[in-house]
Structure 1
Amino acid sequence: MFLTRRQFSVDDFESVKTSPWEGVRNYEARNLMKEMQVGEKVAVFYHSNCKNPGIAAFAEVAKMSYPDYTAWDASHPYYDPKSDKDNPRWHMVDLSFTARAEHFIPLTLLRYIADTTVADDLPAEIKYIGEDGVKAIKSMDLVTRGRLSVQRVEANAWDTIQLLAKNGGWDGLNLKPAKKSKKTTAAKISSKAATKIKKKRQPAATAEEDDGGDSPLSSLESSGDEKHIGDSVAKTSKPRSTAPRKRKAPPENDTALNDPPRRSRRHKSD
């Protein structure tokens, strides 16, 4: 197993020799801890409370899982009011210190190895882990799913970690991931923008291509009657004027309109 503990250094662990691993408040981590057996040499002490986290020492299980009494201690930082003696929610194990890692294994090294495609791409200083070692590190929960206070470590990963702790060799290596240049990032952005514009324009170009060739409109445009057909359509489709019509002036020989107006024959009263 792989364990992490805050505010408890490898120096503290080495001085006390055996310590309960209290304070686990994650159900998955608790369940993994409950699976541990006495004498199980798969507990890795992961030193996380520092600027450069990594594997600092190794331990073994001294006592199997039992209720974590700090959960119902109101004065303890890991107090949980929903847990009590009759219904304990959290458990812990006792671990015994076995040895320090001869070479501290930083998390950056494990991630560096996990990002490597094949063992041949590794620097000569750490090629000794081989292809199996690279695959083992790649499969570790530590580099695939992030931090968890208790994690399972497979046998091949355990062997690779032991090999790294014994041989070292990475002190002079630059383990930081290479930063992408601004020019490369800008080129990728402009390339993506150009692709989007091209995709937007593509349907219009396709429509223009579909309108050509065998379409009825294209045959009309290529015929000799193009102008006549266009004129005919223009005349029949010309919109009617909405302006009021002007009356035409009457002809001069129209007697009905040229007669003087009739006078009334009624006599005006005196």
Structure 2
Amino acid sequence: METTTSTANYWLLKAEPDSRVVKGKDVKFSVDDFEGIKTSPWEGVRNYEARNLMKEMKLGEKALFYHSNCKNPGIAAFAEVAKEAYPDSEFRDCHLCKLFLRNTNPYSSHPYFDPKSKQDDPKWFMVDLTFTSRAQHFVPLTLLRFIADSASASPPAGLEYLGDAGVAAIKGMDLVTRGRLSVQRVSDAAWTAVQQLANTGGWDALDLNPKKKSPAKKAAAGERPARAAKTKAKAKKRKAKGSDSEDGGDDYYEEDESEEEVILKTTSSRRKRKAEDYEELPPTRRRAKASS
């Protein structure tokens, strides 16, 4: 008798639950929004690897809905693929606009508009996802990292139901090994482990941030106010760019740089540093350096 093995893929897709305004439009999409809409196109992915993963998704495959770029990122719901990959139509080049509207594209004000994407050669794709259910217990990234960073191969107290296989699956998740990617594969074992966590809970007694200093300890360590203000300013700047989150932000809207662009940036940076170093030299040293 022949045995059949499942070939279905599981996925994880990220969205931002907190308000963030881009080109005058709020791009937030929380689990509440998803549950209210039920089915939504997954637009705005601007990373080639994430795009290619979406192009592999098949109708009916299951996905984890993940809250990203927020104070408490984690898995909030379950979903399934309702429509396979198709061109991210909001961002295709509008040929009629070029002919009749003097190159004014009505989509150019959209937060994720990409003028390089052509109607006859679309650069970006999206899928439609349908909300299926909320996680009974929100599964925070801090918990998954706590399990992944544990030296033990066995589950921590309260999570014995995961078993050694569940712990191993979580340790291997892309979410904890390379968290920035906004669309990720999820193994069968990891999917099962996350389902168990979402359905059962049991980690309330765990200290998920054992290395985090309390405010009293920070004060005792003599943290300088100037440094704290500088750190706060940097965090505010990252927040404005959409990267101030526990999982380090994501790549929804970032294009991959080509190798040539990286080389040019590096060369330009070196030349700038050399010029600045030369300007800081005293006149006598400058003349000596120029004549050498």
User: What TM-score comes out, normalization by structure 2 length?
Assistant: 0.59
| Residue pair 1:53, 1:106 contacting (<8 A) in 2 also | yes
Q: Give 2:42's aligned amino acid.
A: W
1:81 aligned residue (86, 103, 115)? 115
1:97 aligns with 2:131: yes
Aligned to 2:82: 62
Aligned to 1:47: 67
| Residue pair 1:136, 1:156 contacting (<8 A) in 2 also | yes
Q: CA deviation at 1:173?
A: 1.7
Superposed CA deviations along residues 190-226 of structure 1, whole A, max 9, x for unmatched, are xxxxxxxxxxxxxxxxxxxxxxxxxxxxxxxxxxxxx
Aligned to 1:199: none
Counterparts of 1:112 and 1:154, CA distance in 2? 19
Q: Give 1:84's aligned amino acid.
A: K
1:14 aligns with 2:35: yes
| Residue pair 2:147, 2:156 contacting (<8 A) in 1 also | no
1:3 aligns with 2:23: no
| Residue pair 1:119, 1:127 contacting (<8 A) in 2 also | no
Percent identical: 68
Superposed CA deviations along residues 110-141 of structure 1, whole A, max 9, x for unmatched, are 00000112344x43211210100110001101
Q: CA deviation at 1:54?
A: 0.2
Aligned to 2:55: 34
The 4+ residue runs of structure 1 with deviation greater than 4 A are 179-182
Counterparts of 2:15 and 2:168, CA distance in 1? 27
Q: Give 2:59's aligned amino acid.
A: V
SS across alignment from 1:157: helix
User: Any unmatched runs of 5+ in structure 1?
Assistant: 183-270
| Residue pair 2:72, 2:141 contacting (<8 A) in 1 also | yes
SS across alignment from 1:64: strand
Superposed CA deviations along residues 143-185 of structure 1, whole A, max 9, x for unmatched, are 0112211000010000000000000011232101436999xxx
Counterparts of 1:62 and 1:179, CA distance in 2? 41
Q: CA deviation at 1:84?
A: 1.9
Counterparts of 1:31 and 1:131, CA distance in 2? 32
Aligned to 1:253: none
Superposed CA deviations along residues 1-21 of structure 1, whole A, max 9, x for unmatched, are 110123100000000100000
SS across alignment from 1:58: strand
1:123 aligns with 2:156: yes
Counterparts of 2:54 and 2:76, CA distance in 1? 20
SS across alignment from 1:152: strand
Q: Give 2:165's aligned amino acid.
A: D
Q: Give 1:40's aligned amino acid.
A: E
SS across alignment from 2:161: helix
Counterparts of 1:134 and 1:119, CA distance in 2? 7
Q: Does 1 or 2 have the higher relative contact order (CA < 8 Å, sep 6+)?
A: 2
Superposed CA deviations along residues 236-262 of structure 1, whole A, max 9, x for unmatched, are xxxxxxxxxxxxxxxxxxxxxxxxxxx
Q: CA deviation at 1:65?
A: 0.2
SS across alignment from 2:119: coil
Query: Larger radius of gyration, structure 1 or 2?
Result: 1
The size of the alignment, in residue pairs, is: 180
User: What TM-score comes out, normalization by structure 1 length?
Assistant: 0.64
1:23 aligns with 2:51: no
Aligned to 2:208: 175
1:114 aligned residue (142, 148, 152)? 148
Q: Give 2:13's aligned amino acid.
A: L
How much is the aligned-residue C-alpha RMSD, in angstroms?
1.7
| Residue pair 1:119, 1:130 contacting (<8 A) in 2 also | no
Counterparts of 1:171 and 1:75, CA distance in 2? 45
